[in-house]
Structure 1
Amino acid sequence: MNWDPKNRIKVRIVSARAYHSLFMHMCIRPSPEELENFGTPDFTIYNAGQFPCNRYTHYMTSSPSIDLNLARREMVILGTQYAGEMKGLFSVMHYLMPKRQILSLHSGCNMGKHGDAALFFGLSGTGKTTLYTDHNRYLIGVDEHCWSDNGVSNVEGGCYAKCIDLSRDKEPDIWNAFSLALAKFYGSLWPLIKLLQNSCKARFDLLNSLEHSCSLPIEYIPNAKIPCVGPHPKNVVLLACDAIGVLPPVSKLSLAQTMYHFISGYTALVGFYVFLLHFIEASASCSLRLNLFDDTQKMYAAMLAEKMLKHGATVAGQVEGNNRSLQAILPYTRKIIDAIDSGSLLNATYRKTEVFGLDIPTEIEGVPSEILHLENTETLLKLAGLFKNNFETFTNYKIGKDKKLTEEILAAGPNF
């Protein structure tokens, strides 16, 4: 784990099923020489698949169990067929890396041809894979990264992406990569993907909520940067899926606003969730962007602020991927991302919105001006109330000298 050789963690996986072992191509695969000199692993995972734990054991409440022992550097997975080894390893990285003053991130990352890197934070269904797989930019990584004094590095060795209604026209890079993986039928995992009869062509339009993703080695992405490392990010983009349709599709955030929205982790429950819930629900949680240890969410926000200040990543764009309706306006969203990457958004004319106090551009080339505007509706006020209530746990947390930055972050929230 981790393409940065100075901070790489050696992992050994012992599994009962080939399916789980195959999924671990999501780790960085060692060369024959590295494998010969692998030595003692830094962490070991034992995945027993469907073999259940004894739910009558003290502290056990169900047959599935994922147990992590940081002292022994071991993880045991029982009673589940879900290939969740990577989630466990993410938790390990998010625990170990900050102890080395390295910020671990649930984010995507790409880099322009002039060395300008961009980080994309976002929950499942907010458009990370869609937006950072840009054939005009190099892909550094898909989902997990570390930000050290040397720059950013990908934690994974693979790509894991949703495939519902995937098409060559909508997402050519992802389509081509998965088609190549399917044609080779090597090193790729396609859970229950439906194939055309007597063909190796996948029917992505037949996927349902439980069969929505595929994985493959990252080198199958044509513009992947190998090794997957890059310089310090120039831009930080916070992605959200505002299917409720009251926030602007993009806004320029101050440092305090960046911390506020990073901690809030706002999105709507859509993507594969919408098939299960049959309604759209706003959701905000201090742990949503991190899905990690509850006691350290604010620590990650403080580390992000320090990294941005130290390395000059002063611009963050709050991009709302699904504004105004469930229909993602992908061409416009891509133009917004292009404006962030090129720096042209810095020179735009802005106006400040009421309630959330966001600076939104009055115009972006190629984007209809009417979708950039935010309206003060009753729904917007309800959403602002959700943000306020969610942030109450933050009031006692100290960031900066004399709690000054904490006060600035609190002031960066909605005002009504």
Structure 2
Amino acid sequence: MVNIIEELEKLNIKTSKNVYRNLSIPKLIEKAVINGEGVLTETGALDVKTGKYTGRSPKDRFIVRHESINDKINWGDVNLPIEEEIFNNLYNKVTEYISDKELYVFDGYAGAMEEYRLPIRVINELASQALISNQLFRRPTKEQLEDHKPEFTVVVVPGFKCKGKQDGVNSEAFIFIDFNKKMVVIGGSQYGGEIKKSIFSVMNFLMPEKNVFPMHCSANIGKDGNTAVFFGLSGTGKTTLSADPERKLIGDDEHGWCDKGIFNFEGGCYAKTIRLDKDNEKEIYGALRFGSVLENVVINEEGRPDYDDARYTENTRGAYPIEYIPNAELSGIGGQPNTVIFLTADAFGVLPPISKLTKEAAMYHFMSGYTSKLAGTERGITEPVATFSACFGEPFMLMSPYVYAKLLGEKIDKYNTEVYLVNTGWSGGGYGVGSRMRLSYTRAMVKAALEGKLKEAEYIKDDVFQLLVPKEVPGVPSEILNPKNTWQDKEQYDIKANELAKKFEENFKRYKNVPDEIVNAGPISK
């Protein structure tokens, strides 16, 4: 039987107040409301405001530098090093800060597959964040809880503000990951995504050592048992396309791919809610009920959420357990993926709406992680901005992107997996000229890929992007499959295609010691 007080004292955490371990959902909500952390909406969801931090703070996340991991971490602007002395000094201040606080402990797991799951403990200053931890990670059974031994501990103290440079960090907020102490410490930020993404980052470091490919992707499974995974950055349609009424959702964000199949790292979903539509996103809309947590959503006088109001942030969020989704695979486990979909929203309008990738091209585009961010909201800027995020999740990948790309290549070879690049962006011209690809066409293309209808299709190789473009896809007009056909000004298409190809080439120069066959599988500018 776990004695939580003794367990905390081993971490030098002592408090004169109560410590609550794995409280029930109603009790956590009751505590949060009594403590003034949030209010209940008309649907029963708990709405909280996270203050100035309404999203992740990437410049405040550090990895404690140790000799044991020094050569494995891809140090740079994304993975910032911090010395152990700075960690120790701030950790001592944190433990002093919480000595007169009530604490809410969640014991559970990251990883649905037993042999790869990571037992974790999340020590929270706030009941609302203990609720988020409970809903986003995998919850233990009563028997598992009695003998739970965490292998990684997360300490979350949003009320503790440090002194920036004086404390050896960049601001009042900090996120430390220490692999020697097997700890994460989060201070100064109340944004729930820091808890979730810190453990995801830990998993991304630990899993390759076990020959598991960690993925920032959604996944679903068909009635025939065929499993598919969807990679894509924000705005590409990953959540929309993976939420298929004919397929069960395994998970919407973080998975591992091993020799037994794929498995969800999480026990819940952390969905964006800005402009959430009751009809088009009814699964998410219905999930935001009692037991769920809303972050920074505007609530009107009647207690009704206004998902269109972005006064606090565009990054409004809802955290809920996956069982709140009607069509979910509650085991969190699927078979070997038959199909991998890379999603991109190309605002240049030059990438094909669907193309097949060779293994080498798949590794190239995985390391590139391309999409477009639209700059039209900024005065005077009308051109789209090409964005590259390695592995479609660079902020959470602690090792070299090539480490993860090699794992992808090995899985493709071993399980004969088909990989497709799907452009959900513009056609007939770039942003402001062309139009966004119809969702019905994209769904038809994805459906054809998942059902294996493109395996034997006839393909034409694009001479700039070197992509294999199908001549026909069921339910899709053939003329739109070659993007150049949809442009009135063919010369302008060639200019823009060449411009984007150069951006790919320039971005890929940052990768050293990558085999030529992968480099040569990417776009070729003229």
Say yes or no: TM over 0.5.
yes
Structure 1 unaligned spans of 5+: 398-405
**2:141 paired residue among 31, 50, 53:** 31
**Root-mean-square deviation (Å):** 2.1
Change (3 A) 1:69 1:227: same
**1:254 paired residue among 335, 358, 380:** 358
Alignment of 1:96-135 (within 5 A): 96-135=206-245
Q: 1 CA distance for matches of 2:159 and 2:437?
A: 38
Change (3 A) 1:244 1:230: same
Residues 110 and 132 in structure 1, CA contact (< 8 A), matched pair in contact too: yes
1:74 corresponds to: 183
The amino acid that maps onto 2:450 is: D
Alignment of 1:197-212 (within 5 A): 197-198=301-302, 200=304, 202-207=305-310, 209-212=313-316
Change (3 A) 1:275 1:155: farther
Q: 1 CA distance for matches of 2:392 and 2:219?
A: 19
Structure with the larger strand share: 2
> How far is 1:308 from its partner?
1.2
**1:391 paired residue among 474, 488, 508:** 508
TM-score by length of 1: 0.89
Structure 2 unaligned spans of 5+: 1-109, 485-492
1:316 corresponds to: 419
1:214 corresponds to: 318
Which moved further from structure 2: 297-306 or 48-57?
Answer: 48-57
**Helix, strand or coil at the partner of 2:122:** strand
Q: Does 1:349 align with 2:493?
A: no
Residues 250 and 334 in structure 2, CA contact (< 8 A), matched pair in contact too: yes
Residues 250 and 320 in structure 1, CA contact (< 8 A), matched pair in contact too: yes
Q: Does 1:373 align with 2:482?
A: yes
Change (3 A) 1:211 1:304: closer
Which moved further from structure 2: 347-356 or 251-260?
Answer: 347-356
**1:268 paired residue among 363, 372, 375:** 372
> How far is 1:295 from its partner?
4.4
**Helix, strand or coil at the partner of 2:164:** coil
**2:263 paired residue among 143, 150, 153:** 153
Q: 2 CA distance for matches of 1:69 and 1:193?
A: 33
1:245 corresponds to: 349
> How far is 1:198 from its partner?
3.1
1:338 corresponds to: 447
Report the count of equivalent residues.
397
The amino acid that maps onto 1:396 is: N
The amino acid that maps onto 1:412 is: A
**Helix, strand or coil at the partner of 1:360:** strand
Q: 2 CA distance for matches of 1:172 and 1:369?
A: 32
Q: 2 CA distance for matches of 1:44 and 1:128?
A: 30
Residues 135 and 173 in structure 1, CA contact (< 8 A), matched pair in contact too: no
**1:170 paired residue among 280, 292, 295:** 280
Q: 2 CA distance for matches of 1:6 and 1:274?
A: 47
TM-score by length of 2: 0.71
Which moved further from structure 2: 11-20 or 334-343?
Answer: 11-20
Change (3 A) 1:61 1:197: closer
Residues 287 and 297 in structure 1, CA contact (< 8 A), matched pair in contact too: yes
Residues 366 and 391 in structure 2, CA contact (< 8 A), matched pair in contact too: no
> How far is 1:134 from its partner?
0.5
